[in-house]
Amino acid sequence: MEEDIIHRIFASSPEDDDFLPKTVEDIFNDFTGRRSGFIRAFTTDAARFYSLCDPEIMNLCVYAHPNGTWEVNSPVEVLPPNLPQPVLGINFAIDGMQFHDWLSFVAVHSDCWLLSISSFFSANARLTRHDRNRLFDLINNLTTLSEVVTIHHAIQTLFQVMTRSAYYRR
């Protein structure tokens, strides 16, 4: 089955990962690389990320790659895909949601996707129960993307309030 999975990942994934992580450390590195990409998309690159999610275009997904980059792209065309896929149609949710709520929504689903990917690699590597526990302990000790978005929003709001109050004190 393993060869078939590898073949299909390259056939259906928009990524060009050149290896499948096989150890707890490699899977965790893959996780943290993709997580960095998402953090960039949801904080410093948030305006560009938002502008790419045009609700007029067909359904879009946000992908993050192990090298810390991110991209908004169409879902894979080959069904079933091999790698678990991120949530479909994030651009349709823009209509009718506040910017911060939309970002939180995408962040929650991206957290789910990151765990899915790690679970997929962990099954492919046939990790033992002990190793799975170790991997998910490492993962769960990190701040989730959903928490990062909330903290970033709180800091931005605080900054705005402080700037405004400094303006009024002039």
- Is the CA virtual torsion 117, 132, 146, 109 positive or negative? positive
* Residue 154 to residue 63: CA distance in whole angstroms: 25
Give the pair of three-digit tokens for residue 108: 């929650």
Nearer to a second copy by C-beta: 128 or 162? 128
| Burial of 168 from C-beta contacts in 10 A (0-12 / 13-18 / 19+) | exposed
C-alpha distances (whole Å) from 80 to each of 5, 12, 151, 155 are 11, 8, 36, 41
Q: Give the shortest CB-105-to-a second copy separation in angstroms.
A: 7
| Cα angle, residue 156 at apex, residues 153 and 158 outer, rounded to 5° | 110
73 forms bridges with which residues in the sheet?
Answer: 61
**Of these, 34, 49, 63, 104, which contacts a second copy (CB under 8 A)?**
104
Q: Which of the ranges 30-38, 44-52, 65-73, 133-141 carries the binding residues for a second copy, by CB under 8 A?
A: 133-141
Amino acid symbol at 98: Q
* Residue 146 to residue 115: CA distance in whole angstroms: 13
Q: Which of the ranges 17-25, 65-73, 135-143, 162-170 carries the binding residues for a second copy, by CB under 8 A?
A: 135-143
**Of these, 28, 43, 113, 148, which contacts a second copy (CB under 8 A)?**
113
Phi and psi angles of residue 64, each rounded to the nearest 5 degrees, phi first: -125, 145
If one asks whether residue 20 binds a second copy (CB under 8 A), the answer comes out as: no
**Of these, 29, 133, 157, 160, which contacts a second copy (CB under 8 A)?**
133
Q: Which of the ranges 15-23, 38-46, 142-150, 154-162 carries the binding residues for a second copy, by CB under 8 A?
A: 142-150
Residues 33-92 that bind a second copy (CB under 8 A): 59, 79-81, 84-85, 87-90, 92
Residues near a second copy (CB under 8 A): 1, 4-5, 59, 79-81, 84-85, 87-90, 92-93, 97, 101, 104-105, 108-109, 111-113, 115-117, 119-120, 123-124, 129, 132-133, 136-137, 139-141, 143-144, 146
